[in-house]
Amino acid sequence: MPLPRKHPIRRIVEPFASIKITVTLMALAIVLIFFATLAQKDIGIWEVQKHYFYTWIAYFDFTSGGKVNPATGIYEPVKTIFRLYMPGGYIVGGGLLISLTLAPIVHFKLAVRKLGIHFIHLGIVIILVGELITGLRAKESQMSIREGQTTNYAETVFPFVSELALINVTEPDHHRIYAIDQSKLEPGYQFTCPDWPIRIEVVEFYENVQVTGKNAGAPGFRAPAADAGIASDIVFRELPYNRKQNNKPPNRPAALIKISDVSTPKEKTIGTWFCSSGVDVPQRLSLGNRTFEIQLRPERTYFPFSVTLNDFQFNRYPGSNIAKDFSSYVTLTEEDNREGRDVRIWMNHPFRTDGYTLFQQSYAPDETGTVLQIVRNPVWTLPYIGCFVVTLGMLVQFGISLYVHTEKRQRQAAA
């Protein structure tokens, strides 16, 4: 039942349930999608999602053109002529969610002839809620495995996110890992290891760098202001942050960190390290009878299962290099099933377990390894449910309208 016209709550919510607001928000959604589509050419889908849909205020830059820097491979706009601001996805989507939720309460009577409209509103609300939760809670990562290899973690590479890892490797069969999120890696940030008197302080952080050997002699490079680890063997230069984030080329963040011994009241500096995700080899340090590794690496997500790649198969269409099918034959070993189970994951045929979905994404260039995309989305079923409810609502409303029209024609014919 709709709220009575003089009900105080109706007076408050009625403006938000206006059809004018709903139409305006839909128009803004079209504008947002249009400019996001234009921007995707230059900054890629991940940055588009972040700057247009997962934000309150979005903007589009009209530039005088751009070019790809041949030295870095990064697209660089020449000049920004005008910046157009617009409501972001949170405002547009949130407004539509509120409007479509309130409209049936304020305007529609709970009658059989309106049942289809109620279903349509409910389905759209389910889709919007699902997208909101997906944007806030969904997690995507990438697992690269060679044939015969077993792993239980994946890395966040699209978009690339790093972490600073301090790893206690004193015991060869048991490593203890302390990871610091990239969002915290700002100059002045300090982290004290809870199990050992080590303090890490971030001196400098660079969003994107290029690292090369000290004897490479490339212009524009400089030695890091560090006195430990690989610092004496490498040089680096800062690069603009690659907003496209399509891994061509990827951003390689770096950090200059100072490590201190805080086992005594007078803090003692152990050394300063230069860490970059462009350097795959961890750097070691010793403190007493303990050995640690320090590394800036892609953010890792560990799973309650491990994956062993038994075989990777790549099939092409005859007479061409076009992929017909590529699939991974893996053994999935879960914590409650140590024997494991054999699974085939291939194109458009993901495998779901423990709330995770494993997709066949790519493969190693030599075709002896696979790349699986692992997604954890607690509401992955909501879009399907929402689409089903909208479809059901359209069919119900069409059926009701057809029935009413048929009854009217029959009455007219009988008269």
Q: Which string of DSSP letters, residue by residue, matches 107-133?
A: T----GGGHHHHHHHHHHHHHHHHHHH
Measured CA to CA, the distance from residue 52 to residue 153 in angstroms comes to 30
Report the pLDDT value the prediction gives residue 245, as an integer from 0 to 100: 56
Cβ-based neighbour number of residue 239 at 10 Å: 20
Is the backbone peptide bond immediately before 253 cis, with ω within 30 degrees of 0?
no
Residue 76: which H helix or E strand, with range? Answer: strand 75-77
User: What torsion, rounded to 10 degrees, do the Cα atoms 386, 392, 395, 401 define?
Assistant: -100
Give the residue ranges of the chain where pLDDT is below 70: 1-8, 65-66, 68, 70-78, 108-110, 216-217, 244-248
Sign of the CA dihedral with 296 first, then 367, 333, and 344 last: positive
Identity of residue 383 = P
What Cα–Cα distance (Å) separates residue 294 from each residue in 61, 165, 180, 231? 40, 6, 11, 13
Q: Which two tokens stand for residue 275?
A: 């860490």
Report the pLDDT value the prediction gives residue 74, as an integer from 0 to 100: 62
Beta-carbon contacts of 223 under 8 Å, excluding residues fewer than 6 positions away, are 214, 231, 234, 235
Measured CA to CA, the distance from residue 379 to residue 130 in angstroms comes to 6
Measured CA to CA, the distance from residue 26 to residue 371 in angstroms comes to 38
Measured CA to CA, the distance from residue 152 to residue 264 in angstroms comes to 38
- Each as own residue / partner, the long-range contacts of residues 238-243 (CB below 8 Å, 24 or more positions apart, any chain) are 238/206, 238/208, 238/209, 239/72, 239/74, 239/208, 239/209, 239/210, 240/69, 240/72, 240/74, 240/76, 240/208, 241/207, 241/208, 242/74, 242/75, 242/208, 243/42, 243/43, 243/44, 243/47, 243/75
What are the phi and psi torsion angles at 149 (to 5°)? Answer: -90, 150
Report the pLDDT value the prediction gives residue 7, as an integer from 0 to 100: 66
Measured CA to CA, the distance from residue 96 to residue 107 in angstroms comes to 16
Predicted confidence (pLDDT) per residue in 337-380, tens digit:
777 899 999 988 999 988 899 999 999 989 999 999 999 999 99
Report the pLDDT value the prediction gives residue 113, as an integer from 0 to 100: 82
User: What torsion, rounded to 10 degrees, do the Cα atoms 32, 33, 34, 37 define?
Assistant: 120
Residue ranges per structural domain of the chain: 8-137+381-414, 141-152+303-376, 161-298
| Neighbour-count burial of 203, counting CB atoms closer than 10 A to its CB (0-12 exposed, 13-18 middle, 19+ buried) | middle
Beta-carbon contacts of 125 under 8 Å, excluding residues fewer than 6 positions away, are 97, 100, 101, 386
Report the pLDDT value the prediction gives residue 217, as an integer from 0 to 100: 65
HEC readout, 188-223:
CCEEECCCCCEEEEEEEEECCEEEEEHHHCCCCCEC
Measured CA to CA, the distance from residue 10 to residue 326 in angstroms comes to 57
Beta-carbon contacts of 331 under 8 Å, excluding residues fewer than 6 positions away, are 307, 308, 310, 340, 341, 342, 343
Q: Residues 110, 119: contact at Cβ < 8 Å? A: no
Q: Residues 199, 191: contact at Cβ < 8 Å? A: yes
Report the pLDDT value the prediction gives residue 130, as an integer from 0 to 100: 94
pTM of the entire predicted model: 0.80
Report the pLDDT value the prediction gives residue 157, as an integer from 0 to 100: 83
